[in-house]
Structure 1
Amino acid sequence: MHRFTHNFCLCQIGKLPVTRLPVQPTTLDRPARVGDVPDVLCVGVSYRTAPVEFRERLSALESDWVAQLGPACPSITEWALVTTCNRWELYAATTHSVEEALGEVQAALQAALDAPAGEYAPRLFRYTGRDAARHLCQVAAGLDSLILGEAQIQGQIGSAYTTGVAQGTVGPVLSLLMRTAIRAGRRARHETPIGTRAVTMSSVALAAAEAYAGSLADRRIVVVGAGEMARLALKVLHSRQARQVTVVNRTVARAQALLADPGWQALALDQLPTAVAQADIVFCATRAPGFVISPELLTHLSDAATCVKVLVDLALPRDVDPAIRHLPGMILIDLDDLQEQLDQGLAARRRSVPAVESLIDAVLDEWEQAMRDLSIRPLVVELRLKAEQIRRQEMARTLRFLGDVDDSTRTQLDHLTRALVNKLLHEPTMHIKALAHAGPAEAGQVDEQAATIRALFGLETEPHVPHDATPAL
C-alpha cells in the first residue's frame, strides 16, 4: 500500500467517515515528517470580486489542468476545486511557505489564462491557514452565497471533495478541511435559522400559495408563462412533488420543454380560460404588456369551476388585474405582497448570522487541533509499522521452529503477538499523540522528543510499508 494512502486510511477525526484514496504518483508521494505542520490556502474569485465573464474563463479551464496541478506547483501536496456559477475557488495544502505556494498557484493560473497578472490578480482573493478554513466553512453555511443561507453550495463542496478523492489530489489535510466545512454547514442549518424561511421570489410565492391552499402536492396548479420565473416556480413545484401541473404558454413547445413530470401537461394560451377554471392555484409569470387574467375571464367561468382560487402574480408589468381582489373567492398575491414576505425571510436569516459565525469558530477550534494531530501522525505510523515488521518476522521464525502447526494454534499465536505489541506501544503512542497539544513555545521540545523516540526505536526517516500491513492506532 502506498504510504500516503496508508497514512490517510488511519486518519479519523471525530465522527467523520474514513475515506480510502486512490492516490496516483504525484506530489502527494512526498513523505510527511513530525514538524512538517501542514497549512492550507485558498485562491479564487466569486460574484463579489469578478464579473461573470471572468468566472466563465476560469470555469473553462480543463479538468486535466486541475488534476495535473502538482508538477506546476511543487510546493503544494494536495488540492481541490470548488466551482459553481457564482464562484471558482482552489484549495491547496502545503508544508512549505504559504507565500511560496500562493505564488506557484498564481503563476499556474496566469499561464493557463494566458493573461498578464494585472488583468486577473486584482480579482483574486487569497486566504491562508485558519482564514482559509473559515472562508470554506462560511461558504458551506451559505454565509457567502448570493442568496443568504442557500443549501445547494453544501452539496457542491461535497462534489468537489468526491472529485478530488477520485483524482487522487485530496489527501488527509484537505479531507479534514472539506469534511469540517461540510459538517459546519450541516450544523448551521440544523442548529440555527439560517436555512429557514423562503428567501427567493419563487419559493416565497409557493409558500404564500401553500399557506392559503394547503399542500401543493394535492392541488391543481396552472403556471402561465415559460420564462425564467416560471421555470424557477416549476422547479420548486417539482421538489414539492406537485402532481397536477399545467403549463400554459403562447408557444406550446416551450411549455412542453419545462414539463418535469410525466403527469404534467402543456397548453396553448388560447386554452387559458379552461385551465384557470379547473385550477386551485394559478401562477402568472409572462412578459405580456397587458393583463392576462382579467375579472371578465373569471366572472365568465362555468359553474363547474373551482370556487376559491389563489392567483399569484409574479410578473412586471402585472399579469393579473388587481380588481380581481374584489371578486368573491379570489385571493390575489402580487409582487408587493411577496416582497414583504421576502424581506421578512431575509431579515430572519440575517439575524442568525452571528450564531452561525459562533458555531464556525467552535468548529475551527476543533479543526486546528485535528491539524496538529496530523503533524505527528507520521511518527505514530512509523512506530507501529516498525513494530508490525518485527512481529511478523518473529512470528515467521517461531512458526518455522515449531514445524507443523494447526490453524487454531497459528491464530492464537497471531492474536497473542498482536496483543503484546499493542500493550507495549500504548504508552509511547499516547505520548506521541500528546505532542500534538504542545504550544508554539514548545515546538523545539517536540522536535527533540520526536528525534529521541526515533532513536530509541530505531525508526527510519522513510520506513518500508508492507503492502498488506495494517497497524492499529
Structure 2
Amino acid sequence: MHIIVIGVNHRTAPVELRERLAFPEQTLPEALARLRETRGVLESVILSTCNRTELIFVADQPSRAVEHTERFLESWSGVPQAEFRPVLYVHREEEAVAHLYRVACGLDSMIVGETQILGQLKDAFFLARDLGNTGSLLNRLLQQVITFAKKVHAETGINDHPVSTSYAAIELMKQVFGDLKGKRVVIIGAGKVAQLMGQYFRDSQVRQMTFVNRTLEKAEAVARSLGGQAVPLSALTDVLADADIVVSATGAPGYVLTKQQVEPLVQGRSRRLLFMDMAVPRDLDPQIHRLPNTFLYDIDDLEGYVEAQMAERLKVARRIEGKIAEEVAAFRQWLQTLGVIPLIAALQQKGQHIHRETMESLQNKLPHLSERELKIIRKHMMSVVNQLLRDPIQRIKELALEPQAEQSQNFFATIFALEEYLLEQELQQQKAEVKAAPSAQEARTEVPLPFRL
C-alpha cells in the first residue's frame, strides 16, 4: 500500500487558481463520495483551506492512482489538468508522511507555526473517517500526526512568538505597561487595521476605546461592533487628554498629530502616554517621542519586532523538524510490520485449529473424562500452543524490518504451511468488500498481503 499526497498551496499556486481548486465546505461529503469511488484509491481525505487544497490517499498502484485523482480534481473543479499540473506537488511514501506532519505543525503554513491548520486537518480527517473514506493506514497516521502536532505546540510554544504587526503592537504595549486592562485607548482611523487593533484591545479588557475618524459614520459603525465610542476628527485633542494609548492607522498624506499639538497635553502629566503609528506614510510626527513620559513607535519598530519573533519561530521549527524525522521513522517501522499481521493471524488460526482437533480426538479416546478435567487439559494444551508460537511470531516481526522482509515472509508462510489459511483470509476479505462498499475501504488495508501465496 502507498500513501500519497497531491495538492497546491500558497507557495506553488496563485490565489486565483487556488480558489478554483478549493472544495467549499458544503460540497465535501459529495466530493469525498466521488473520491472514494475513484479507481485505485483505497482511503482518502480532502484538506481544503484558503491556502491549500490537498488530496491525501492510500493506493495500491501509485502511478495510476495519481492519474485518476488528477482526473477527479479536473472533473470536480472544472480546471483543466494542463492548468494546474505545473503547480501540483506529489508526495509519496515517507515524503508524504513527513509533509503531513509539517502541515499539521504549521511548518508549511504562510505564517510558520500557526495553529489554525491543525484544526482544519483534524476536521477534514474526522469528516472523511465518519463517511467511511479512511481505513487502518490513514486512521493510524492522521491520529498520530494530530496528537504529535498538539504536543509540539504545547511543549515548544512556537505560536507564542507573534508575527503579525497588529499583534506585535499589542505585545509591545504590554512591555511598556505590563497590562492593558483598565487603559483608555484612542484609535485614529476606521479601516481594517483600526478594527483589528480594536479587537485586540477589547480582548485585553481596556477600560475605554474611542474611535476617531474624518467620517464620523464609519467610526460609529466600528465603535458599535467593538463596544467603543466614536468622535469626529475635530474632537481629537479633547479625547487625547485622558488617553493612555493612541493608535493611528489612517491613509492621510501628512501628519495627523504633530509635536506642537501633543505638547500642551503632556505638560504636567505624570502618566505614560504611548503612541503607536501603524500608517505608511506615517501619521504621527517623529518628534513626539522627545516629549516627557511619551513613547512613540512606528511600523519599522514593529517590523523589527516581528522579524525577531519570526527568527524565534524558525529556531523552534528546526527543532520540530528533528522530532518529525523520528516520528516518520517510527511510522515506517509500524508500516513494515503491518505485512506480518495476516501471517501472525494465520499462524494463530492454525494453532487454534490443531488445538481444537486434538481436544476432539482426546475426548473420543477418553470419554470418561469429566468436564473439569477436560477444562484443565484444554487450558494447558492452549498454553503449550501459545508458547510454541511466541518465538516464531516475535521473529517474523523482527524480520519485517530487514531488507529481505518479503522473502522472509514468503518463507515463513511456506515453512509453517499457512497458504490455506492466508487464502481463506483473502476470500473473506473479498466477500466483505462486496457486501459493504464503504467498509471495504478499511478492509482493503486492514490485512495487506505484500507476499506471494
Query: Where on the TM-score scale, by shorter chain, does this alignment land: which range?
Result: 0.7 to 0.9
Distance, in Å, in 1 between the alignment partners of 2:353 and 2:412 is 23
Work out whether 1:39 is the aligned partner of 2:2: yes
SS of aligned partner of 1:170: coil
Match of 2:75 in 1: 111
- Pick from 183, 204, 219: which aligns with 1:252? 219
> Displacement, 1:448?
3.8
1:375 touches 1:436 (CA, 8 Å); kept in 2?
A: no
Distance, in Å, in 2 between the alignment partners of 1:164 and 1:422 is 42
> Displacement, 1:384?
7.2
2:198 touches 2:209 (CA, 8 Å); kept in 1?
A: no
Which 10-residue stretch deviates more, 84-93 or 227-236?
A: 227-236
Match of 1:455 in 2: 418
- Pick from 112, 132, 136: which aligns with 1:148? 112
Match of 1:56 in 2: 19
Aligned residues between the structures = 407
The one-letter code matched in structure 2 to 1:81 is I
Match of 2:40 in 1: 75
Q: CA RMSD in A?
A: 3.9
Distance, in Å, in 2 between the alignment partners of 1:107 and 1:268 is 57
Distance, in Å, in 2 between the alignment partners of 1:216 and 1:161 is 39
The one-letter code matched in structure 1 to 2:58 is A
1:312 touches 1:334 (CA, 8 Å); kept in 2?
A: yes
SS of aligned partner of 1:149: coil
Unaligned runs of 5+ in 1: 1-37, 395-412, 466-473
Match of 1:316 in 2: 280
- Pick from 132, 137, 145: which aligns with 2:96? 132
2:36 touches 2:43 (CA, 8 Å); kept in 1?
A: no
1:435-454 Cα offsets, whole Å, 9 max, x none, are: 34422313122134246667
The one-letter code matched in structure 1 to 2:231 is A
Match of 1:160 in 2: 124
The one-letter code matched in structure 1 to 2:405 is E
- Pick from 36, 42, 49: which aligns with 1:84? 49
The one-letter code matched in structure 2 to 1:111 is S
Q: Aligned pair in 2 of structure 1 residues 458, 88: CA closer, same or farther (>3 Å)?
A: closer
Which 10-residue stretch deviates more, 422-431 or 120-129?
A: 422-431
The one-letter code matched in structure 2 to 1:41 is I
Match of 1:364 in 2: 328
Unaligned runs of 5+ in 2: 360-373, 433-453
Distance, in Å, in 2 between the alignment partners of 1:379 and 1:237 is 62
1:283 touches 1:314 (CA, 8 Å); kept in 2?
A: yes
1:421-445 Cα offsets, whole Å, 9 max, x none, are: 6985576477446534422313122
Structure showing greater radius of gyration is 2
1:72 touches 1:108 (CA, 8 Å); kept in 2?
A: no
Which 10-residue stretch deviates more, 85-94 or 294-303?
A: 294-303
Q: Aligned pair in 2 of structure 1 residues 91, 199: CA closer, same or farther (>3 Å)?
A: same
Q: Aligned pair in 2 of structure 1 residues 71, 319: CA closer, same or farther (>3 Å)?
A: same
The one-letter code matched in structure 1 to 2:396 is L
Q: Aligned pair in 2 of structure 1 residues 284, 108: CA closer, same or farther (>3 Å)?
A: same
1:223 touches 1:247 (CA, 8 Å); kept in 2?
A: yes
Match of 1:29 in 2: none
SS of aligned partner of 1:278: coil
2:168 touches 2:306 (CA, 8 Å); kept in 1?
A: yes
> Displacement, 1:115?
3.4
| Structure of greater relative contact order (alpha carbons < 8 Å, 6+ residues apart) | 1
Match of 2:165 in 1: 201
Work out whether 1:269 is the aligned partner of 2:236: no
Which 10-residue stretch deviates more, 100-109 or 305-314?
A: 305-314
Work out whether 1:282 is the aligned partner of 2:246: yes
Which 10-residue stretch deviates more, 451-460 or 431-440?
A: 451-460
Q: Aligned pair in 2 of structure 1 residues 148, 417: CA closer, same or farther (>3 Å)?
A: farther
Distance, in Å, in 2 between the alignment partners of 1:57 and 1:91 is 19
**TM-score using structure 2 length:** 0.76
> Displacement, 1:114?
2.7
SS of aligned partner of 2:5: strand
- Pick from 227, 237, 241: which aligns with 2:191? 227
> Displacement, 1:105?
0.5
Distance, in Å, in 2 between the alignment partners of 1:63 and 1:292 is 49
> Displacement, 1:51?
0.7
Distance, in Å, in 1 between the alignment partners of 2:411 and 2:272 is 80
Work out whether 1:435 is the aligned partner of 2:396: yes
Match of 2:338 in 1: 374
The one-letter code matched in structure 2 to 1:366 is A
Distance, in Å, in 2 between the alignment partners of 1:378 and 1:214 is 62
The one-letter code matched in structure 1 to 2:117 is I
Q: Aligned pair in 2 of structure 1 residues 418, 228: CA closer, same or farther (>3 Å)?
A: farther
The one-letter code matched in structure 1 to 2:18 is R
Q: Aligned pair in 2 of structure 1 residues 327, 49: CA closer, same or farther (>3 Å)?
A: same
1:277 touches 1:305 (CA, 8 Å); kept in 2?
A: no
Distance, in Å, in 2 between the alignment partners of 1:306 and 1:418 is 87
SS of aligned partner of 2:340: helix
Work out whether 1:307 is the aligned partner of 2:307: no
